[in-house]
Amino acid sequence: MTAISNHRSYPLDPPRFVDAPPMLRAVGVTKRYRHVNAVESADVEVYPGEVLGIVGESGSGKSTLLRLLNLEEQPETGEYTLNIPGVTGQNLFALDRFARREVQIQHIGMVYQNPFLGLRMNFTSSGNVAERLLITGERRYETLRTKARTSLLASEFPIDRMDDPPRVLSGGMQQRVQLAKALALQPQLLLLDEPTTGLDVSVQALVLDTLKRLQRERHITIVIVSHDLGVIRTLSDRVIVMRYGRIVEVGLADQILNDPQDAYTQQLVHAKL
């Protein structure tokens, strides 16, 4: 029997047909918590308009990697660049706290699994969205309200409830408020951490559909973390598989799901009901 490496048996060629450089590039990212390497030497590239899925079981480091990409945490090592006018070529991990916050607000939208992390539950929903605009200096009440409304409509939020606080909304609606807030400043990068986990299956389908439509219409680059392979199959072009903080396999979504190469990925895919 011929020996087969853990990954694919041969390397793939570098890209030749893509017109633009990667929108997001993170190289050699390592994040340590005490003695545990939560993320270890991770390399990630995402091209403009692409949807990258990150899968792996709890504790694999996938959410940590996403928080690093959202500049919420600092890694021990690594370089992170976004190909966006104004920040191109800068290592975002090396920026000071204020500059990082600025990049995060202007260019990155984030949706958390837990709406408590992303929303003020007792503010109005429209206020939650408008807050993003306020940070950038918009002060006119009418403009704030119109823009918040537009953003809520784009995420298919039932607009007659825009002045209700998220506290009284259903899980699906809360995720739509988070999405509207994330998109309020029209970022080029959207990061999603288990955005539909915990929602009813039918509500989950609707939220996924909204995401798919927004991605196509606005050509947003998306990184989505999920342990649900169905969600990943529906949304992603390419998939990264993580285990114990390491990336064990990268490939086209249907290839990862139909012809996984790595031993762990084979287990993961076959464990799906």
Partner 1 sequence: MRLLQVEGLEKRFFIHHLGREIPVFDRLDFTVDEGEFIHVSGVNGAGKSSLLRCLYRSYLATGGHAYYQSWRGSIDLVCAADVDIAILRREEIGFVTQFLNPRPRVSALELVAEPLLNAGSDLEPALERAREMLSAFGLKQDLWGAYPTTFSGGEQQKVNLARALIHPFRLLLLDEPTASLDSAARVSLMARLRELKMQGVAIIGIFHHPQEIQHLIDQEVRLTLPTTENDYVVE
Size of the site for partner 1 (CB under 8 A): 37
Options 11-19, 65-73, 96-104, 162-170: segment touching partner 1 (CB under 8 A): 11-19
Kindly state whether residue 76 participates in binding partner 1, applying the rule CB under 8 A. no
Among 95, 237, 244, 246, binds partner 1 (CB under 8 A): 237
- Cβ atoms of 89 and 210 within 8 Å: the answer is no
Among 65, 182, 250, 268, binds partner 1 (CB under 8 A): 250
Kindly state whether residue 200 participates in binding partner 1, applying the rule CB under 8 A. no
- Cβ atoms of 171 and 115 within 8 Å: the answer is yes
- CA dist 221 and 201 (Å) reads 25
Of the two residues 112 and 264, which places its CB atom closer to partner 1 in the complex? Answer: 264
Kindly state whether residue 134 participates in binding partner 1, applying the rule CB under 8 A. no
Options 16-24, 56-64, 129-137, 184-192: segment touching partner 1 (CB under 8 A): 16-24
CB of 234 to partner 1, least distance (A): 7
Kindly state whether residue 246 participates in binding partner 1, applying the rule CB under 8 A. no
CB of 13 to partner 1, least distance (A): 5
**Footprint of partner 1 (CB under 8 A):** 1-2, 4, 8-18, 47, 50, 202, 205-206, 208-209, 216, 234, 237-238, 250-252, 254-255, 258-259, 261-263, 266-267
